[in-house]
Amino acid sequence: MENFVFHNETKLIFGKGTIEKIGEEIKVAGLKKVLMLCGSGSIKKNGVYDLATESLKKGQISWVEVWGIKPNPVLSKVHEAVEIARKEKVEAILGIGGGSVIDSAKAVAAGVVYAGDIWDAFVGKYKVEKALPVFAILTISATGTEMNGNAVITNEKTQEKLAVSSKALYPKVSIIDPSVQASLPKEQTVYGAVDAIAHILEYYFDGSDALAQDELSEALIRTIMVCTEKLLNDPNDYEARANFAWSATLALNGLTAAGRRGGDWACHRIEHSLSAIYDIAHGAGLAIVFPAWMKHVWRQKPQQFIRFAKKVFSITSDGETAALDGIEAFKSWLRRMGAPVSLRDVNIPSSDLDKIVENVFRSGRTLGQLKKLDRSDVKKILELAF
Amino acid sequence: MENFVFHNETKLIFGKGTIEKIGEEIKVAGLKKVLMLCGSGSIKKNGVYDLATESLKKGQISWVEVWGIKPNPVLSKVHEAVEIARKEKVEAILGIGGGSVIDSAKAVAAGVVYAGDIWDAFVGKYKVEKALPVFAILTISATGTEMNGNAVITNEKTQEKLAVSSKALYPKVSIIDPSVQASLPKEQTVYGAVDAIAHILEYYFDGSDALAQDELSEALIRTIMVCTEKLLNDPNDYEARANFAWSATLALNGLTAAGRRGGDWACHRIEHSLSAIYDIAHGAGLAIVFPAWMKHVWRQKPQQFIRFAKKVFSITSDGETAALDGIEAFKSWLRRMGAPVSLRDVNIPSSDLDKIVENVFRSGRTLGQLKKLDRSDVKKILELAF
């Protein structure tokens, strides 16, 4: 096990009927005016907007609304919200929505207190050490952003999808009422599951050894899988929704990362290029990339892939066969849940592979932890994914 | 799953060579003088004291030392330390040791800022809402106190062992260097394992349903069991020590409690009476009480006991048989690790059972969550434990 620091100060309020606590939480933090960031309007249909605004009124919190945050949230929208936040002199940012909205809320919170373009933070020219306080009401469990300091934004001009991470960006308070997710389209539940599982696997397969984390990671993956299957049968199954939601939060709140080597993150980097170029759902991209990456790198640490096969998919074969059977079982499960598992499934032509490889290496950083990947590795992974 | 709030602000610094960070951590918190609370002197033998004081000097932190905190820490010692802390005008309490020392540090931290006798907080006459900041260097992984707001103190005059819990008592920073635990006597490792497993089981068997927590709890128990076995073979096995330590922290930091019904805690209450009266090790008492309690209450929720049997002990039988086989397997494992599993093993005579029952109900609170226990239930559990 590697040395680590675990320090996660987000207050997570979880369960039925918890959205109405937002006003009180902002009030006791001594804040009076917030910028409310929202998506495309589904929160008006499922009642979340009314619950939240009612609660803000009760807490005597005033707010300004910015609507229209989209999946794969874009930089121009962040800029727009930063400007409004400054003009309106808000004291905090409240994101109500899925990962895209809350990631945008974090980018805005950091952007308001930075004189330059907040994109600087994403390309490594500026280190985020302060931000307005972020509050979150999560309506789609997937990215884990509700309990970490990460945000991923797409610069639509440069077609770069990049991440920033800072202690200052942990939400002060995040509220998760799993019952409001009952109205999600099936594919969003599936993509959320893929995203959460991928977060766990990025650490699980980073080359480190840590029995406790192996056990916890497998426990969370099994839980997410069981709950996803239940939710495809019955989207209103509250217990499945709740266990799914809590597991997705734990998938990227530091728990499975503690004692690891920082995660591998090659699959996320490759996927970020896919969704930056083709605007496909993040979870869809991960379902395509992850099994291909596994096939390409498993020989770096066969015992971990064999363990994965046995503990997650109860594979009974041994040695190399078990490792490969586990990867196939994972891919089959993704397919069975309705996720795309090849580039062809999302109509990306084989003639584009080189373009994708170039995008992946655009940010110039090294890629991969379990295996350092060069351009030819990524090309091979994309071919396996085709 | 029940609604919950997860909010744990302790900064946990974990790994080899981390003790020397204590001075810097206290310094950046803006503090200059601390009361250092210690046990019987083992930290002078294993180098922890030198590392810590060297680091305090570097951070220009001055300190006053109070030695002699014993297992089942007593109120009189807390009173003594409170007086010194006041006289010396310290700004924080630094506990260096196991659970007893850190629990005492919390009691002292709360006691310094309370005009009355801090025992009031343990008997429910005073609610702890403020305390001096607590810092901890953990040298025995067992109680989980390094990452929660709980403290258990024994009033030696009244023979009551009671707990207090407060948001104000979470350590600001806790440091765990698992390598310093290599010098622990074997039985302390075993009792630590029993304590940590018992914490997990208190929630696991509280009658609530939560798949994620079931999975996480089983993952932690299996990890602790495997690591305990390894450590009895080789106390210097760092990986086993580290995975054990991290699991013991997670066993009572809110992770396995989230979404549950607050835990059962009958076994802990009964054990507290045993160690208050006979001064036996907490882990030893739990090893005696837990299997007996399980035998008495398993029919309240057979499916959870069957699940436990299958997931933790790979029991292949079914139904009632599986539930009972699981309890037997747990008891056998405890015995194999060298823990006492009956009152006879620690020389408590059968003629004392009524006295123990009286002590258990002395604090007058209701007992148990899965099954509300009355005097006759506790008597039966003690008979099963005899």
DSSP secondary structure string for all residues of B45-112? HSSHHHHHHHHHHHTT-EEEEE----SS-BHHHHHHHHHHHHHTT-SEEEEEESHHHHHHHHHHHHHH
Give the residue on A whose Cα is nearest the Cα of B215: A219
Give the residue on B whose Cα is nearest the Cα of A171: B7
User: Which of B18, B222, B230, B246 to mutate against chain A (most A CBs within 10 Å)?
Assistant: B246
Considering CB atoms only, which of A212, A227, A246 is closest to B246? A212
Is A223–B242 a contact, with Cβ atoms under 8 angstroms apart? no
Query: Each residue of A293-312: pLDDT tens digit?
Result: 999 999 999 999 999 999 99
Residue B224's pLDDT is 98
User: Which of B3, B180, B211 to mutate against chain A (most A CBs within 10 Å)?
Assistant: B211
Residue A155's pLDDT is 94
Is B219–A223 a contact, with Cβ atoms under 8 angstroms apart? no
Chain A residues interacting with chain B (CB cutoff of 8 angstroms):
1-18, 209-212, 215-216, 218-220, 222-223, 226-227, 239, 242-243, 246-247, 250, 255, 258-259
Residue A159's pLDDT is 87
Taking the CA atoms of residue B246, residue B248, residue B254 and residue B256 in that order, the dihedral angle to the nearest 10 degrees is 100
Which residues lie below 8 Å from residue B54, measured CB to CB, with a gap of 6+? B20, B23
Give the residue on B whose Cα is nearest the Cα of A224: B212
Overall average pLDDT of the B126-137 stretch: 98
CATH architecture of the region A11-179: 3-Layer(aba) Sandwich (3.40)
Is B211–A220 a contact, with Cβ atoms under 8 angstroms apart? no
DSSP state of B339: -
CB contacts < 8 A, A to B, total: 111
The pLDDT of residue B266 is above 90: yes
A313 torsion bin: left (phi>0), alpha (psi -120 to 50), beta (else): alpha
Residue B103 near residue B153 (C-beta atoms within 8 A): yes
Residue A366's pLDDT is 84
Residue B323 near residue B205 (C-beta atoms within 8 A): no
Overall average pLDDT of the B228-236 stretch: 97
Is B211–A226 a contact, with Cβ atoms under 8 angstroms apart? yes
Chain B residues interacting with chain A (CB cutoff of 8 angstroms):
1-18, 209-212, 215-216, 218-220, 222-223, 226-227, 239, 242-243, 246-247, 250, 255, 258-259
Q: Which helix (H) or strand (E) holds B5?
A: strand B4-6
Cα distances (Å, whole numbers) of residue B294 to B198, B287, B315: 11, 11, 16
Is B7–A12 a contact, with Cβ atoms under 8 angstroms apart? yes
Q: Indicate the domain borders of chain B.
A: 11-179, 186-385
3-state secondary structure of B232: helix
Give the residue on B whose Cα is nearest the Cα of A8: B9
Considering CB atoms only, which of B1, B216, B239 is closest to A1? B239
Same fold: B11-179 with B186-385: no
Query: Each residue of B342-384: pLDDT tens digit?
Result: 999 999 999 999 999 999 998 767 899 999 999 999 999 999 9
Residue A75 near residue A154 (C-beta atoms within 8 A): yes
3-state secondary structure of B154: strand
Q: Which ipTM did the prediction report?
A: 0.96
3-state secondary structure of B12: strand
Q: Which helix (H) or strand (E) holds B35?
A: strand B33-38
Distance CA B96, CA B63 (A): 13
Residue B362's pLDDT is 86
Considering CB atoms only, which of B18, B212, B226 is closest to A247? B212
The b-or-e profile of A205-215 (16+ CB within 10 A means b, else e) is bbebbbbbbbb
Considering CB atoms only, which of B4, B13, B250 is closest to A5? B13
Give the residue on B whose Cα is nearest the Cα of A209: B239
User: Which of B208, B243, B311 to mutate against chain A (most A CBs within 10 Å)?
Assistant: B243
Q: Which CATH number fits domain B186-385: 1.20.1260.10, 1.10.3720.10, 1.10.3660.10, 1.20.1090.10?
A: 1.20.1090.10
User: Which of A11, A243, A307 to mutate against chain B (most B CBs within 10 Å)?
Assistant: A243
Overall average pLDDT of the B122-133 stretch: 97
Is B11–A2 a contact, with Cβ atoms under 8 angstroms apart? no
Is A9–B4 a contact, with Cβ atoms under 8 angstroms apart? no
Q: Which helix (H) or strand (E) holds B33?
A: strand B33-38
pTM: 0.97
Which residues lie below 8 Å from residue B280, measured CB to CB, with a gap of 6+? B274, B346
Is B1–A242 a contact, with Cβ atoms under 8 angstroms apart? yes
* Pair of tokens at residue B55: 């680091």
Overall average pLDDT of the B32-45 stretch: 96
pLDDT band for position B5 (cuts 50, 70, 90)? very high
3-state secondary structure of B189: helix
pLDDT band for position B181 (cuts 50, 70, 90)? very high
Q: Which helix (H) or strand (E) holds B293?
A: helix B282-297
Is B15–A3 a contact, with Cβ atoms under 8 angstroms apart? yes
CATH number of A184-384: 1.20.1090.10
Overall average pLDDT of the B278-307 stretch: 96
Give the residue on A whose Cα is nearest the Cα of B242: A1
Query: Each residue of B142-151: pLDDT tens digit?
Result: 999 999 999 9
The pLDDT of residue B178 is above 90: yes
Residue A362's pLDDT is 86
| pLDDT string in tens for chain A (386-residue length) | 999 999 999 999 999 999 999 999 999 999 999 999 999 999 999 999 999 999 999 999 999 999 999 988 999 999 999 999 999 999 999 999 999 999 999 999 999 999 999 999 999 999 999 999 999 999 999 999 999 999 999 999 998 889 999 999 999 999 999 999 999 999 999 999 999 999 999 999 999 999 999 999 999 999 999 999 999 999 999 999 999 999 999 999 999 999 999 999 999 999 999 998 998 999 999 999 999 999 999 999 999 999 999 999 999 999 999 999 999 999 999 999 999 999 999 999 999 999 999 999 987 678 999 999 999 999 999 999 99
Residue B366's pLDDT is 84
Which of A136, A154, A135, A145 lies closest to A99 in space, CA to CA? A145
Q: Provide, as residue numbers in chain A, all residues whose Cβ is less than 8 Å from the Cβ of B9.
A: 7, 9
